[in-house]
Structure 1
Amino acid sequence: MNSFLRCLSCHAVYAINEPIWKCACGGLLDIEVDFSRTKQWEIVKFPGLWKYLPFIPLPDKSIIITLGEGQTPIIRYLYKNQEILIKQEQLFPTGSYKDRGAAVMISAIRAMGIRSVVEDSSGNAGCSVAAYCAKAGIDCSIYVPASTSPAKLMQISAYGARVVKVEGTREDTARMVLSAASQNYYASHSWNPFFFQGTKTFAYEVWEQTEGKLPDAIILPVGNGTLFLGVYKGFHDLLSMGLIEKIPRMVGVQASLCAPLSHWEKLDLGGIPIDVNTIAEGIAIQKPVRGAQIIEALHQTHGMILEVEEDEIEMALRLAVEQGFFVEPTGVVGLAGTIQYLKRFPEVGKVLTAFTGHGLKSPEKILSVLSH
């Protein structure tokens, strides 16, 4: 399996072990993998997502940083006589699916000999990167919006990372960390291409867990698209290897207060009125870095973007806790979108979504919702 880094702007090519997070032209990097010589599905006897190591490009596959992540269960949830498959991504070591990406990205960073990184996050990615950096012995600074949930800030600090609070929006935090990234390696969950090589394992697991009988639609929350794009990449891998005939319809869900991608047909994410004061803080992204890639994934799978109102998110949260699932507000956005999708397309076949973050990430927001 040959793999290399390619710039999405100028198409420059770099070796997979090049210690860079963006192209010399400033463009985003992606990892291209050649599966033409892959004749069969090959897994190894490693726990969790690392069973897929043969399909995960890394600078050195002998260096793996793991906390036992992966292989989250899929449960069947019945909503008004319609079955919804829910993958429980809140059950990761740090409480969110971001551990998929962080495990692979930090493994790559450790293999390249990098000893200090910076990252920006609304919370969950920062928790994941801080945890895996702690395991790898890598110095870590996490830039976060000052409004980030206290539980997430505590978790990041507990792992020994430096927390840098930034006043303003999520985009203000991103701008601040880019300045720091001029002197430090940027372990970004949106810029760094290795992160998506971790989140793509979600698709591998779904394919195995459903015994190849894939859902008709995959419905996921979208902020910067780290899970959405990773899942698309994973299914694209399976398609390239001839293991599936087509990729399921990819449906992204955004909070209506911050839904720039719902205007994706205009191909213009600028000038759209956006209010980031949504309870779904984890996807309150005004300008997704990889917006063009998300749009392409929607085109390729005949997908769509759904907007959910705050009361739809709150209803989904109540439905989750009533069934014993303690999930943060952002973590139920996929369920809220799935319910809306089923109302719009009642004859649709099998659908799958995910709980993306544990309720202990944001107990104060949950208490606020449940108390009124």
Structure 2
Amino acid sequence: MLVDRAGRRYPLDEPRWRGDDGSPLLVEDLPGITRDDIDTRVRSQWRYAAALPQPYDRPVSLGEGCTPLLPFEVDGVPLSVKPEWFNPTASFKDRGTTVMVSTLAGQGVTEMLEDSSGNGGSSVAAYAAAAGIRATILAPESTSPAKIQQSRVHGAGVELVPGTRQATADEAVRRSAGTFYSSHNWHPFFLQGTKLIAYEIWEDLGFTAPDAVVLPAGAGSLVLGCHVGFGELLRSGAIARRPRLLVAQPARCGPLVTAFAAGAAAVSPGEWSPTVAEGTAIAVPVRDREVLAAVRASGGDMTAVAEPDIAPATFELAHRGLYAEPTSSIVLPAVREFLRRGTLRRGETAVVVLTGSALKAADAVGRLLSEAR
């Protein structure tokens, strides 16, 4: 069953993106799986299909997941890094989209609406094309051209919305009365796909949990996915403790960090500025309460990354062979801050997630390069 913030329950097979009270939906807690439930014949994240709330006879899959886990050091501290651009559309969003679109296709949805600053939109465009579903993507005017182009080549209709990323989300909600709103930030089955990264990290590490996972966050679907996935592994007895979730946002748009530091249960309205980390520039995250609660439940931490630190981080990663978009690169200065605070400690097992490729933010990286000369 699905459940909203008021505790109302809804059937899984009903096409629905929010509760009757207007709040976001979650799938009720599931028992999780153990290593014996993994289908090792499948070379994608669908090897963990037994962890999903319902069966899928014909999932809409493009081979997402099974991204590598690489050794990585920061200032002499050994860590691991998971580059998510090995997913089909070059970002972690494919993990959630494959399950969301598989669910919608099974429910008979033939037309869908998505809002995105880029990676979510191009992911939905690709999987909608694979499913034979017509997709319309709303994106901010400032979205990287490569991401817009990718969505259009997949056959989606793309409309650019003036103003902030939040203005695009607001416009999508207004249009949801006429077209099914398949927002990756709202739809509960998107999180069901994103949670599988926790299962994959667990398998990558020899069926053990890391001490910490370092993540960038905008709306926080990756944070919540890790929270849900590791929570299920804890319930199944496959791990003994949750990893700490250590989360980075850009200082120019860090509502979750501000609320976390204040001890607040939800974000408050604020004035934010444009940031080169465009994928994390979400002023009013839909699941703010759930994200903040997840970080606290894990014993985790959050930090804001100053804008002048983002370009050097992008170049430092690139000089080490990791071509991460600026949205992802904020994890590097965040790692240093968490080490300074002691919320990340030398000798621990920690996984740093790089969410998307700089190939999809070529204009933004080009501007940073010009400014650095």
Name the TM-score class by shorter chain. over 0.9
Distance in 2, matches of 1:252 and 1:78, equals: 18
- Structure 1 residue 273 displacement after superposition: 3.2
Q: With the length of structure 1 as denominator, give the TM-score of the two structures.
A: 0.94
Q: Give unmatched runs, 5+ long, in structure 2.
A: none
Query: Deviation of residue 57 (structure 1)?
Result: 2.1
Q: Is the 8 A contact 1:122 1:145 kept in 2?
A: yes
Q: 2:180 aligns with which of 176, 180, 185?
A: 185
Corresponding residue for residue 94 of structure 1:
89
Q: Which moved more, 1:328-337 or 1:246-255?
A: 328-337
The answer as to 2:192 corresponding to 1:194 is no
Letter matched to residue 98 of structure 1: K
SS at match of 2:283: coil
**What's the offset of the Cα at 1:212?**
3.2
Please say if residues 63 and 110 of structure 1, whose CA atoms lie closer than 8 Å, have aligned partners that are also in contact: no
> Do structure 1's residue 171 and structure 2's residue 169 form an aligned pair?
no
Range moving further from structure 2, 243-252 or 99-108: 243-252
Alignment of 1:1-372 (within 5 A): 4-8=1-5, 10-35=6-31, 41-44=36-39, 45-58=41-54, 60-264=55-259, 265-275=263-273, 277-345=274-342, 347-348=345-346, 349-371=348-370, 372=372
How far residue 40 of structure 1 moved from its aligned partner, in angstroms, is 6.5
CA distance, structure 2, for counterparts of residue 196 and residue 49 of structure 1: 14
Distance 1:80 1:67, change over 3 A: same
| CA apart distance, 1:39 | 7.2
Q: In the alignment, is the contact (CA less than 8 A) between 2:266 and 2:292 conserved in 1?
A: no
Question: CA 1:83–1:40 in 2, change beyond 3 Å: closer, same or farther?
Answer: closer
Q: Return the offset for 1:161.
A: 0.3
Please give the alpha-carbon distance, in whole angstroms, between the structure 1 residues aligned to 2:94 and 2:332.
Answer: 21
AA of the residue aligned to 2:103: A
Give the superposition deviation at 1:106.
0.2
> Offset at 1:79?
2.2
1:344, distance to aligned residue in structure 2 (A): 2.9
Structure 1 runs (4+) deviating above 4 angstroms are none
Contact conserved, 1:127 with 1:155, CA < 8 A, in 2?
yes
| 318-327 or 153-162: bigger deviation | 318-327
Unpaired stretches in structure 1, ≥5 consecutive residues = none
Task: Find the aligned partners of 1:253 and 1:228 in 2 and give their Cα distance.
Answer: 10
Contact 1:259-1:286 at 8 Å conserved across structures: yes
Q: Distance in 2 between matches of 1:301 and 1:244?
A: 14
Q: Deviations over 1:221-262 (max 9, x none)?
A: 011001111011100010010111110111110001111112
1:180 to 1:216, Cα distance in 2 relative to 1, 3 A: same
Farther off after superposition, 260-269 or 101-110: 260-269
CA contact (8 A) 2:208 2:239 kept: no
**Aligned AA (1:225):** G
Deviation at 1:313, TM superposition (A): 1.6
Amino acid at match of 1:158: V
Q: CA deviation at 1:362?
A: 0.7
Q: 1:25, CA displacement in angstroms?
A: 2.4
TM-score by length of 2: 0.94
Residue 94 of structure 2: SS of its match in structure 1? helix
Letter in 1 for 2:313: A
Structure 1 counterpart SS, 2:308: helix
